[in-house]
Chains A and B, each alone.
Chain A
Amino acid sequence: MQNAKDTFYITLRNRLTTVNPSRTMVLRAVTRPGILVQEAEAPVPQPHLDAFALSWTGLVADLQMPAILAQMGCEIQYSTAGAQNNAGLDRGRALEEMDYEVLKLLYPYSAQKMNYTQNPATAMETMVFWSEPEFGPVVTLRDRLSRTAKVTVFAYQEQGEQ
């Protein structure tokens, strides 16, 4: 299942460089696309603004199939306070831009499962696929707007895979 989670993140990260190359952030002294896996970074008291944070939630395993089908819940959380040169008054527009980017990042709804524990990464035998996003309501906290989009990621557990 970890390979599916890694594949999902790296697929979205690579798509983000095409969808919006200017959405970058500096994290641990590296300038990188503005998307991260929460469980692979240090905990922070405030969410990173203008970046997408993936967190893995639910897990359901379907054992009635020839191979175990794992369904993993993924929440894509994002927040913005708008741009400095607009004094934050464009935060609604900035959030809408991020909503649109989520739609673009997720389509097409599948990718070849990769094993990133090897260098270079190797392609596995099955695909990872996921549902359309389910957008939650906007949450307003002072000058910050946030939203969470929920996606269910499906992957077959291959033989020998941890």
Chain B
Amino acid sequence: MADLSTQNPCGLAQRVATALLRANGGTTACLQMPPLAGDATNAGQIGLDAPGFLSLPLSPALFRKARVAMEDAQLPKYELLLSADAIAAQVTQLKLSSAQTLFSMASGVVVAGKLFLIEAASTSQSQGQVYLYRLLLQEASGDWPM
């Protein structure tokens, strides 16, 4: 049976999450997004042309090492907690259908000048609205300064 009680989302959880992320050492993470006009040439598809990724800053974000068992030859994994307000602003600005689309378009995330690959994305919700995104990241093998 449907729950017909009145629950008006007022954005409280989103504001609390944003404030907590900011207060607990919030930083800026940059999604590596493809250029708006993609490269449709042969050279762009066989690794000849530089992809020209754009850096999309997201803040406040909280970055921490994930508590996962370390295995041989496995690079460490990290968690990135992102404010839903920051994601919603970018989804609207880029006219995307969802945050999932935003993450699936990204080729990686740069935090503190280091590149990480996105392994998975999940959400925390309150009253049916997302207030926090959690990305599971893995350190990229290439040690390039970004």
Chain A residues at the B interface, C-beta cutoff of 8 Å: 5-6, 9-10, 13, 27-30, 32, 36-37, 39-40, 42-43, 45, 116-117, 119, 121
Report yes or no: B118 in contact with A29, Cβ–Cβ below 8 A: no
| Beyond A30-B44, A116-B43, 4 additional pairs, beta carbon < 8 A | A5-B46, A10-B42, A30-B39, A116-B46
Report yes or no: A9 in contact with B46, Cβ–Cβ below 8 A: yes
Determine if B73 is an interface residue (Cβ-Cβ < 8 Å). no
Determine if B47 is an interface residue (Cβ-Cβ < 8 Å). yes
- Kindly supply a per-residue 1/0 record for chain B positions 32-60, scoring 1 wherever the CB is within 8 Å of any chain A CB and 0 otherwise: 00111111101111111001000000000
Q: Which of B39, B46, B105, B108 contacts A37 (CB 8 A)?
A: B46
Given the complex of chains A and B, what is the CA–CA distance between A6 and B38 in angstroms? 20
Report yes or no: B35 in contact with A29, Cβ–Cβ below 8 A: yes
A42 and B108 contact, Cβ closer than 8 Å, known pairs A37-B47, A117-B48: yes
The number of inter-chain residue pairs (CB within 8 angstroms) is 55
Given the complex of chains A and B, what is the CA–CA distance between A12 and B77 in angstroms? 36
- Which chain A residues lie closer than 8 Å to B110 at the CB level? none
| 10 tightest Cβ-Cβ pairs between the two chains A and B | A30-B38, A42-B107, A29-B38, A40-B47, A28-B34, A29-B34, A30-B40, A6-B46, A45-B119, A28-B38
- Interface-central residue, B46, B51, B120, by most chain A CB under 10 Å: B46
Given the complex of chains A and B, what is the CA–CA distance between A37 and B48 in angstroms? 12
Chain B residues at the A interface, C-beta cutoff of 8 Å: 34-40, 42-48, 51, 105, 107-108, 117-120
Report yes or no: A10 in contact with B38, Cβ–Cβ below 8 A: no
- Which chain A residues lie closer than 8 Å to B44 at the CB level? 28, 30
Report yes or no: B120 in contact with A45, Cβ–Cβ below 8 A: yes
- Which chain A residues lie closer than 8 Å to B120 at the CB level? 45
Report yes or no: B45 in contact with A40, Cβ–Cβ below 8 A: yes
Report yes or no: B35 in contact with A32, Cβ–Cβ below 8 A: no
- Interface-central residue, B44, B47, B117, by most chain A CB under 10 Å: B47
Chain B's nearest CB lies how many Å from the CB of A33? 10
List the B residue with the shortest CB-CB distance to A28. B34
List the B residue with the shortest CB-CB distance to A39. B47
- Which chain A residues lie closer than 8 Å to B39 at the CB level? 28, 30
List the B residue with the shortest CB-CB distance to A114. B42
- Which chain A residues lie closer than 8 Å to B118 at the CB level? 45
Query: Can you list 28 A-B contacts with CB-CB less than 8 angstroms, sorted by A residue number?
Result: A6-B42, A6-B46, A9-B45, A10-B42, A10-B45, A13-B45, A28-B35, A28-B44, A28-B107, A29-B34, A30-B39, A30-B44, A32-B45, A36-B45, A37-B47, A40-B45, A40-B46, A40-B47, A42-B107, A42-B117, A43-B117, A45-B118, A116-B46, A116-B48, A117-B43, A117-B48, A119-B43, A121-B42
